């Protein structure tokens, strides 16, 4: 059994070497699940005090156009833990697309670094980096996609339930954003039953939904779009939400508040899963979250996408999920470098 697992990991690392992760479509189901398994092993390894060596002498560049706490720190710590260096490059401080084309920057960084993690606006930019750098490029969030987030989400669900396939995941809120659509695809690939619950104005595109539904058909999972929160969450094992206004969409703030107030994750909604008492439901959020009265916004408006009692409840695993960003990004570095 152990021998088989070790052989599987060897294959995973051989298969993923040199590869980029621009969306979850870049991974087969087995590769996605294999990365989660590798991340769980790296987590155990770190907890036992063993670090270092797996990325010795490697150098990764972290290009950020948008703000970040978790993704940036996860990548820096993952690299440092295993002997690699990580250089944080704010797009405002390098000649990125201003004095130099993205293509030229990609070719320069490809001569110096072993991999590039990119966070920014257009998906086409992360694609351009991958096309011209000649090294693995990892999408650390674009307007369209947040694949490394979903690796951590699935890892957290698997740690808790011991499985993924067959569980019901309900995403509540802005159903067409990067996290919602990547989660939809990841859950479908993992054979889960996924419900995207959003107002009609914010439901995912037909293209994204039917692509995920196609994956689900193959894996024995399912994908559904719902508009009524109380119906959607019935029987949920995971209730997931994200901010109502993603980075770069600030102009839509008032409209989002109007559309999404009925989609707030509160205790009433959690109880409607029917799974709180039996302990068969968890709450996840990619973070940062507007749940308390400790930000300028929530001091004025109160909690937005999730109430504080849900966020702080024993069934809320948001900080395990945040920690798992590091283990999954580390697994990605180890496997692709």
Please report which helix (H) or strand (E) contains residue 283, including its range. Answer: strand 282-285
State yes or no: residue 178 binds ligand NVA (CB under 6 A): yes
In the chain the first and final C-alpha atoms are separated, in Å, by 27
Question: Which of 207, 154, 186 has its CA nearest to residue 29?
Answer: 186
Of 85-93, 153-161, 176-184, 313-321, the window that binds ligand NVA (rule: CB under 6 A) is 176-184
* Residue in this structure with the two tokens 């999972």, named with its chain if needed: 221
Residues 278-337 that bind ligand CP (CB under 6 A): 286-287
State yes or no: residue 231 binds ligand CP (CB under 6 A): no
Instruction: By CB under 6 A, name the one of 11, 25, 28, 69 that touches ligand CP.
Output: 69
- Helix and strand tally (H, E) in the chain? 14, 9
Instruction: By CB under 6 A, name the one of 139, 156, 246, 324 that touches ligand NVA.
Output: 246
Please say if 123 is a catalytic residue. Answer: no
Q: Which is nearer to ligand NVA, 164 or 179 (CB)?
A: 179
* Catalytic residue, candidates 70, 81, 286, 291: 286
Residues 123-162 that bind ligand CP (CB under 6 A): 141, 149
Give the residues across from 316 on adjacent strands: 283
Q: Which is nearer to ligand NVA, 90 or 268 (CB)?
A: 90
Please say if 149 is a catalytic residue. Answer: yes
* Catalytic residue, candidates 58, 132, 146, 327: 146
Q: Which is nearer to ligand CP, 142 or 196 (CB)?
A: 142
Of 64-72, 189-197, 231-239, 312-320, the window that binds ligand CP (rule: CB under 6 A) is 64-72
x/- site string to ligand NVA, residues 81 to 120, per CB under 6 A?
A: ----------------------------------------
Extract the tokens encoding 268: 């009433």
Point out the residues that are catalytic: 119, 146, 149, 242, 286, 325
Which residues of this chain interact with ligand NVA, rule CB under 6 A? 141, 177-179, 242-243, 246-247, 286
Residues near ligand CP (CB under 6 A) are 68-71, 141, 149, 286-287
């Amino acid at each position: 059994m152990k021998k088989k697992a070790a052989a599987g990991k060897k294959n995973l690392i051989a298969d993923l070497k040199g590869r980029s992760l621009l969306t979850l479509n870049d991974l087969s189901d087995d590769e996605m699940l294999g990365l989660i398994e590798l991340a769980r092993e790296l987590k155990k390894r770190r907890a036992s005090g063993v670090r270092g060596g797996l990325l010795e002498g490697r150098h990764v560049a972290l290009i950020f156009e948008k703000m970040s706490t978790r993704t940036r720190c996860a990548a820096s710590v993952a690299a440092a833990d295993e002997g690699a260096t990580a250089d944080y490059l704010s797009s405002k401080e390098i000649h990125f697309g201003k004095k130099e084309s993205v293509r030229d920057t990609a070719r320069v960084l490809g001569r110096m670094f072993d991999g590039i993690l990119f966070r920014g606006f257009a998906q086409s930019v992360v694609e351009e980096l991958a096309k011209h750098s000649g090294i693995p490029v990892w999408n650390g969030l674009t307007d369209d996609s947040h694949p490394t987030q979903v690796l951590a989400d699935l890892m957290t669900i698997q740690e808790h339930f011991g499985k993924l396939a067959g569980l019901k995941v309900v995403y509540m809120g802005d159903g067409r954003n990067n996290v919602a659509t990547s989660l939809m695809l990841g859950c479908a690939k993992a054979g889960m039953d996924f419900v995207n619950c959003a107002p009609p104005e914010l439901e995912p595109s037909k293209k994204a939904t039917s692509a995920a539904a196609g994956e689900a058909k193959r894996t024995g999972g399912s994908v559904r779009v719902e508009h009524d929160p109380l119906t959607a969450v019935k029987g949920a094992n995971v209730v997931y939400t994200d901010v109502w206004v993603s980075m770069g969409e600030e102009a839509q703030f008032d409209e989002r508040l109007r559309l999404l107030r009925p989609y707030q994750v509160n205790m009433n909604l959690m109880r409607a899963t029917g799974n709180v008492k039996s302990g068969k439901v968890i709450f996840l959020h990619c973070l940062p979250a507007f749940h308390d009265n400790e930000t300028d916004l929530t001091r004025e408006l109160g909690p937005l996408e999730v109430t504080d009692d849900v966020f702080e409840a024993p069934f809320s695993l948001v900080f395990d999920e945040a920690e798992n960003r590091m283990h999954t990004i580390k697994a990605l570095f180890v496997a692709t470098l």
